[in-house]
Amino acid sequence: MEFFSDLVEYLEINYSTVLQAITDHLYIGLVPVVIAFVLSLPLGFLVVRYSWLRVPLLTLSSVLYTIPSLALILVIPGILQTNILDPNNVVIALTIYGLALLVRTTADGLSSVDPLIVQAATAMGYKPVRRWFAVDLPLALPVVLSGLRVATVASVSMASIAALVGIGGLGQLFTRGFQLGFYPPPIVIGLVLSVALAVLADLVIVLVQRAVTPWTRLRQGA
Amino acid sequence: MIEFVDVVKTFPDGTTAVDHLDLTIPDGAITVLVGPSGCGKTTSLRMINRMIDPTSGQIRIDGKPVGDSDPAELRRGIGYVIQAAGLFPHRTVVDNVATVPVLAGTPKKKARAHARELLDRVGLRPELADRYPAQLSGGQQQRVGVARALAADPPVMLMDEPFSAVDPVVRDDLQQEFLRLQGELGKTIVMVTHDIDEAIKLGDHVAVFAEGGKLAQFAPPDQLLADPTGDFVAGFVGRDRGYRGLSFTTAEHLPVEPADTVVEGLRLAVDGDGRALGWDGDGSTRLPTEGTFTASDTMRRVTDLAILSPAGAAVRVDASGRVDGLVRHATVAEHLRERQIERLRGHGRSTAGAEG
């Protein structure tokens, strides 16, 4: 019981720090996913449209994904001339990881669309751009959104790394705990909250997915 | 009127899909392009709405070259039905049908109301309108496909193997329904199939393509069965083309004998209303007639009845169902022989619409 009273006491004293850590964590974790998602749509389109781009682009994204996160975060200020403590270093790093995952799944999603349906749409008189948004993209959504779930959970979890380079987020609560001689309350709070945020973000996407792809949950019954 | 003028299509890999095609497709009728796979029939169909552009030559609709039109605009004016319907799985049935009018700028609400009327027209229950295609049977999906092609009321409809993805019983229903609908609408329809029986059943005109994209014969189906030009067409239309050709001739010119003629020791018994009861012999039990025909029935039906009859004679009735004559199979055979001689000597042909 002593552990729980320590937890409560820690929260009472530090609730504003914890709240700030949550907001920072969400910013660091989610903004990259949004940027990566938006960028992955045209890139996925290019990969599917111009098949010669497929191997180089997807290989590049796989290679980027293998770079250790800490190394990437430390290299970015050198390349982009940003301040070493700028949270955008982490945002950029996580965007690269998100993009590496999402370009592949978006391309896979767009490739999974039945060419016969696309052809039918063209024959109905759709012009290419309108057809892409009205037919190709919606039909790719089940695969695209599955990829987005993976990327979101990965990004929100990885956001903790920001604390190691002195930037906010729930990772700060871990470093705080270590600095206090392995004092459990901040570590446990940070852990529980970062898992909770990842699960929550995943849940939101699942709900969106259910709302925008109703046709995927049907069974035949005429 | 859709005209192919010296149309050639060569693909980048060097294969010639369509080889100097000249073909004039008449208005208000069903023209079926048929042939083995790789004969260029689908390529020809797709060149009409510019899904494929020809390498050389010209395609004109009502005198206007299709190459002069914006492809998307052109396609909105031409109905298109494909195998397995090609419906959009992410849209409800009613929204699928409303696709082209919405693309052309009709307000959604109006387009949907019209779409519901069309669903009724192709024989779909109104409650299916708000379902997704995956919730419908194959036959129902195909009906939606037809309704979608009709939504903008295009004068021309292209159909690419529209009935090949459904089982034979459903296919037969859909074909009958399709002929009924065409009887009401009178569209200019170009249909592709690999099934010669379907071509003969549905086509007012049939274009038989041979391998290598050459047009082998373009003729009404009865003529195709009676006078195939060359071994390829004869082989393609099949071995029993003589028997199938009987579907295109009516029994109106067939000579009949009086209904009370004794045939092979059997006499036809009729009731007070003049309806056939069966064949009576010497004291034996009464034998069934196996059905009757009228003068507007096909020779195929008469031949079938004569074969089935215990007396070897088919029973003819008038419009009210009263027996008015008998036809023996010897008479049928003789009549067909005379008809064939006449045909081969190039005299007039008696034709009737496709059976059903």
Identify the pLDDT of residue B14: 87
Say yes or no: B227 and B286 in one domain: no
Choose from A77-91, B143-157, B261-275 the range with maximum mean pLDDT: B143-157
Say yes or no: B33 and B73 in one domain: yes
What are the respective helix, strand and coil percentages of chain B, to the nearest 5?
35, 25, 40
Residue B117 vs residue B285, higher pLDDT: B117
Does the structure show a pLDDT above 60 at B349? no
Chain B: residue whose CA lies nearest to A126: B72
At residue A85 the predicted structure's pLDDT band, cuts being 50, 70 and 90, is confident
Domain endpoint, select from B245, B273, B301 = B245
**Tokens 């729980």, residue located:** A4
Q: Do B88 and A117 touch (CB under 8 A)?
A: yes
Q: Do A220 and B135 touch (CB under 8 A)?
A: yes
Does the structure show a pLDDT above 50 at B356? no
Say yes or no: B190 and B284 in one domain: no
Chain A: residue whose CA lies nearest to B138: A222
Does the structure show a pLDDT above 70 at A1? no
Residue B26 vs residue B243, higher pLDDT: B26
Say yes or no: B134 and B42 in one domain: yes
Identify the pLDDT of residue A164: 80
Residue B164 vs residue B90, higher pLDDT: B90
Residue B350 vs residue A170, higher pLDDT: A170
Q: Which residues of B fall within a CB distance of 8 Å from A116?
A: 82-84, 86
Distances (CA, A) of A120 to B32, B76, B113: 20, 12, 23
Q: Where are any strands of DSSP class E within chain B?
A: 2-10, 16-25, 30-34, 56-61, 64-65, 78-82, 156-160, 188-193, 205-210, 214-219, 267-270, 276-280, 292-293, 313-317, 323-328
Choose the weakest-confidence range: A41-55, B94-108, B336-350.
B336-350
Query: Does an H or E element contain B152, and which?
Result: none
Identify the pLDDT of residue B100: 94
At residue A66 the predicted structure's pLDDT band, cuts being 50, 70 and 90, is confident
Say yes or no: B231 and B265 in one domain: no
- Sign of the Cα torsion A154, A155, A159, A165 reads positive
Q: What would the mean pLDDT of A75-102 be, rounded to a whole number?
A: 87
Q: Do B135 and A125 touch (CB under 8 A)?
A: no
The secondary structure of residue B4, as a DSSP letter, is E
Identify the pLDDT of residue B271: 87
Say yes or no: B110 and B87 in one domain: yes
Rg of chain B in Å (alpha carbons): 24
How do residues A17-54 score in pLDDT, each as one tens digit? 888 889 999 999 999 999 999 999 999 999 998 989 98
The minimal CB distance from B134 to the residues A123, A130, A215 is found for A215
The minimal CB distance from B72 to the residues A120, A127, A139 is found for A127
At residue A219 the predicted structure's pLDDT band, cuts being 50, 70 and 90, is low
Identify the pLDDT of residue A86: 82
CATH number at residue B340: 3.10.580.10
How do residues B318-335 score in pLDDT, each as one tens digit? 888 888 889 998 888 888
- A124 and B99 Cβ atoms separated by less than 8 Å: yes
Identify the pLDDT of residue B289: 84
Domain endpoint, select from B229, B245, B261 = B245
Chain A: residue whose CA lies nearest to B88: A117
How do residues B164-189 score in pLDDT, each as one tens digit? 888 888 888 899 999 999 999 999 99
Chain B: residue whose CA lies nearest to A140: B90
Does the structure show a pLDDT above 50 at A139? yes
Q: pTM above the 0.80 mark? A: no
Q: Which residues of A fall within a CB distance of 8 Å from B150?
A: none
Q: What strands lie across the sheet with B313-317, from one edge to the other? A: B292-293, B313-317, B323-328
Q: Which residues of B fall within a CB distance of 8 Å from A109?
A: none
Residue of A112, A118, A124 for testing the chain B interface, max B β-carbons within 10 Å: A124
Identify the pLDDT of residue A67: 86
Residue-range definition of the domain harbouring residue B236 = 2-245
How do residues B273-282 score in pLDDT, each as one tens digit? 888 888 888 7
**Gap between the Cα atoms of B355 and B298, Å rounded:** 7
Does the structure show a pLDDT above 60 at B203? yes
Using the Cβ of B170 and the Cβ atoms of chain A, whether some distance falls under 8 Å is answered with no
Using the Cβ of B24 and the Cβ atoms of chain A, whether some distance falls under 8 Å is answered with no
Domain endpoint, select from B245, B261, B277 = B245
Identify the pLDDT of residue B353: 40
Quote the ipTM score. Answer: 0.80
Q: Which residues of A fall within a CB distance of 8 Å from B132?
A: 214-215, 218
CATH number at residue B99: 3.40.50.300
Burial B229-256 (b: 16+ CB within 10 A, else e): eeebbbebbeeebeebbbbbbbbeebeb
Using the Cβ of A129 and the Cβ atoms of chain B, whether some distance falls under 8 Å is answered with no
- Min Cα separation A114/chain B (Å): 9
**Gap between the Cα atoms of B72 and B105, Å rounded:** 13
Chain A: residue whose CA lies nearest to B74: A125
Say yes or no: B217 and B73 in one domain: yes
Say yes or no: B262 and B217 in one domain: no
The minimal CB distance from A218 to the residues B49, B86, B132 is found for B132
Does the structure show a pLDDT above 70 at A220? no
At residue B346 the predicted structure's pLDDT band, cuts being 50, 70 and 90, is low
At residue B144 the predicted structure's pLDDT band, cuts being 50, 70 and 90, is very high
Percentage of residues in chain B having pLDDT higher than 70: 97
Say yes or no: B14 and B144 in one domain: yes
- Min Cα separation B127/chain A (Å): 10
Mean pLDDT of chain B: 88
Say yes or no: B68 and B168 in one domain: yes
Query: Residues of A numbered 101-120 whose beta carbons fall under 8 angstroms of chain B's beta carbons: which are they?
Result: 116-117, 119-120
Among candidates B334, B311, B231, B324, which has minimal Cα distance to B270?
B324
Q: What would the mean pLDDT of B293-313 be, rounded to a whole number?
A: 88
Does the structure show a pLDDT above 70 at B28? yes
How do residues B211-268 score in pLDDT, each as one tens digit? 888 999 999 998 888 888 888 888 888 777 788 788 878 888 888 888 888 888 888 8
Q: Do B134 and A218 touch (CB under 8 A)?
A: yes
Q: What would the mean pLDDT of A208-217 be, rounded to a whole number?
A: 90
Choose from A155-169, A189-203, B251-265 the range with maximum mean pLDDT: A189-203
The minimal CB distance from A116 to the residues B73, B75, B86 is found for B86
Using the Cβ of A59 and the Cβ atoms of chain B, whether some distance falls under 8 Å is answered with no
Using the Cβ of B97 and the Cβ atoms of chain A, whether some distance falls under 8 Å is answered with no
Domains of chain A (ranges; CATH) run 2-214 (1.10.3720.10)
Does the structure show a pLDDT above 70 at A90? yes
- Min Cα separation A57/chain B (Å): 27
- B279 and B231 Cβ atoms separated by less than 8 Å: no
Number of domains in chain B: 2
- Min Cα separation B2/chain A (Å): 18
Say yes or no: B231 and B260 in one domain: no
Say yes or no: B194 and B267 in one domain: no
**Gap between the Cα atoms of B258 and B275, Å rounded:** 14
